[in-house]
Amino acid sequence: MKIFYCKEFAIDSELETVSKSRVIARFLQEGRVPGVELVAPAPVTHDELLRIHDPDYIQSVLSGSIGRLAAGPWSPELLDSILFSTGAMRDAVLEALRSGKAGCLSSGQHHAKRNRGFALCTINGIALAALVALEHVRTVGILDLDAHFGGGTFAILGANPNVHLADVSVSDLDDWIPSEPRRHHRAEVTDASRYLAAVRRALKRMEPVDFLIYYAGMDPHESAGGIEGITALMLAKRDRMVAKWCAEKKVPVIFAPAGGYTDPLSLEEVAELHLDTVRAFME
Ligand SMILES: [Zn+2]
């Protein structure tokens, strides 16, 4: 199984969003999940960025005139991180269309709106991935299991009749209001014992799709940004449920590590949680 990553993804930063991919990649290079091949992506192009964001916003991000990006002060390194990790979403889609599944170590996507970044997310690579997939299939599902809602993805793609959104959150950050009941599903879970059932219901809503984009947050975890009672074991079960669903339905899938935060956990422990997503899709 191919997972898209290159050294430009990660920069020296206190923010896990732009630093943890290096640790996940190191674990994969050490062979912690046998059968995975890390592949360098091509960066996102200007034309691709204009498919998902406003030209003025993109100009200010590319030139640096914006001053500050959602994931920190503008720098050539941070810009490269965003351009390569967004391009990786496109490359992962193309690989999954060929082989059935692929991963991408890109975080920090689902809050980005058309005309601005928000909450650590500068560019919405999920939206790009969906549009790329729609060049090849009829309907795309986005299963967002980050601890927070993906209001950016909804803002960009909610009106697209070929995109189905299912979003299970444990926080009300970046919440959105479904406008198309058939294609839009959002659920907020406040009781850990109801989390897996909520995920199962969300997966059920993905039944009509021909391609799945799975945004796999580890921040629902009780020590990684989420709520008490959501454990590593539950999240491993969750990811196996999603992977099994894709395999049984023969739906091509890409996955990307969404949120997952340190303190009390170390960056290594957060990366270890994300490895479980990779393991689930290798099985
Ligand atoms: Zn989050």
CA 71–ligand 1 middle distance (angstroms)? 13
* pLDDT range class, residue 258, cuts 50, 70, 90: very high
pLDDT, position 237: 98
Q: Would you state the pLDDT for residue 25? A: 98
- For residue 84, the Cα-to-chain-centroid distance in whole angstroms is 14
Distance, CA of 108 to CA of 172 (rounded, Å): 17
Residue 187's pLDDT is 98
Q: How far is the CA of 147 from the centre of ligand 1 (A)?
A: 5
CA of 219 to the centre of ligand 1 (A): 6
Q: Tell me the residue range of the domain where 218 lies.
A: 2-282
Distance 171 CA to ligand 1 centre (A): 9
CA–centroid distance, 65 to ligand 1, in Å, is 27
Ligand 1 midpoint to CA 209 (Å): 24
Average pLDDT along the chain: 97
Ligand 1 center to 217 CA (angstroms): 7
- Residue written as token pair 């729609």: 134
Q: What pLDDT, in 10s, does the model give residues 116-133?
A: 999 999 999 999 999 999
Distance from Cα 61 to the centre of ligand 1, integer Å: 22
Q: Ligand 1: distance of its center to the CA of 117 in Å?
A: 14
Can you give the pLDDT at residue 223? 96
pLDDT tens track for 208-231: 999 999 999 999 999 999 999 999
- Measured in angstroms, how far is the CA atom of residue 109 from the centroid of ligand 1? 10
Q: If you measure from the C-alpha of residue 169 to the centroid of ligand 1, how many angstroms do you get, rounded to a whole number?
A: 9
Tell me: the pLDDT tens digits for 165-175? Answer: 999 999 999 99
User: What spacing in Å lies between the alpha carbon of 98 and ligand 1's midpoint?
Assistant: 30
142-181 per-position pLDDT tens digit: 999 999 999 999 999 999 999 999 999 999 999 999 999 9
- Residue 6 maps to which CATH number? 3.40.800.20
* Band of pLDDT at residue 34, cut at 50, 70 and 90: very high
Report the number of distinct structural domains present in the chain: 1
Q: If you measure from the C-alpha of residue 255 to the centroid of ligand 1, how many angstroms do you get, rounded to a whole number?
A: 15
Q: Ligand 1: distance of its center to the CA of 152 in Å? A: 12
At residue 58, the pLDDT reads: 98
d(CA 189, ligand 1 centre) in Å:
14
Distance 242 CA to ligand 1 centre (A): 19
